[in-house]
Amino acid sequence: MIRSEHLSKVYRMGKIEVPALRDVNLEIQDGEFLAIVGSSGSGKSTLLNMLGCLDKPTSGAVFIDGVSTASLSENELAGIRREKIGFIFQQFNLIHSLNALENVSLPMFFAGVSSETRTKRAAELLIKVGLRERMHHKPAELSGGQQQRVAIARALSNNPEIIIGDEPTGNVDSETGDAIMGILKELNHEGRTLIVVTHDAEIAAHAPRVIRMKDGRLHEE
């Protein structure tokens, strides 16, 4: 489903070049659960941004379903992000003026889904992640774990084939983190491709395949 070839990313700060990725070659199969681990600055989040079409490489290419993303326009890349990929971030990135139901509905609005269908599907997804009683609460009225569950439901709103989590348990306690990983593993068992970046070895241990990053390079485990 996802493949990178000789992927490199260099950030330029004035005259200084900082290599974040160095010649990364990676294949992720349809339905696979992969954890990418590494310390801060190892390049793992940069790699995730490339695989998720959030950023472009300095050199090399990313292929999704055999199509090189380098050949796609910004609108086409946005379409892939909207239709194929669900993102879960460490900071939740919820809109604080909207309640849980409205946050989950929002990506469907941009996909042109009708209001009735948006509301029905958002409610179903919030029930799926255990928030039946909290769907009309705003983020400030929810715990960190509940906010992350809203973020997971939002990531599923357009029924993506790929779920990408950047430190999805980074802002919750260990018990809540295990519960969140349980939800993500269930989604993987349903057939979705799951890619999780984490610095936590215990979280990575949930994945059948683990890749470690160091200094912008991959080391398979």
| Same domain flag for 213 and 186 | yes
The answer to whether residue 26 is domain-embedded is yes
pLDDT of residue 19: 92
Residues of the domain holding 216: 1-84+160-221
pLDDT of residue 72: 87
Instruction: Tell me which of 127, 144, 159 is where a domain ends.
Output: 159
* Euclidean distance between CA atoms 215 and 217, whole angstroms: 6
Instruction: Tell me which of 140, 159, 178 is where a domain ends.
Output: 159
CATH number at residue 184: 3.40.50.300
Residue ranges of the chain with pLDDT lower than 70? 221
pLDDT of residue 221: 64
Residue in the block written with tokens 């939800």: 183
| Same domain flag for 102 and 51 | no
pLDDT of residue 16: 92
* Euclidean distance between CA atoms 61 and 70, whole angstroms: 6
pLDDT of residue 189: 95
Two tokens, residue 115: 């209001």
How many domains does the chain fold into?
A: 2
The answer to whether residue 209 is domain-embedded is yes
Where does residue 159 fall: left (phi above 0), alpha (psi -120 to 50 degrees), or beta otherwise? left
| Same domain flag for 80 and 2 | yes
| Same domain flag for 133 and 188 | no
- pTM (2 decimals)? 0.90
- Measured CA distances, 34 to 48, 114, 211, 216, 221 (Å): 11, 34, 8, 17, 11
Two tokens, residue 199: 């610095």
Tell me the per-residue pLDDT of 55-112, one tens digit each, with 9 for 90 and over.
889 999 999 998 899 888 899 999 899 889 999 988 889 999 999 999 999 999 989 9
The answer to whether residue 89 is domain-embedded is no
* Euclidean distance between CA atoms 183 and 187, whole angstroms: 6
| Same domain flag for 104 and 177 | no
| Same domain flag for 11 and 118 | no
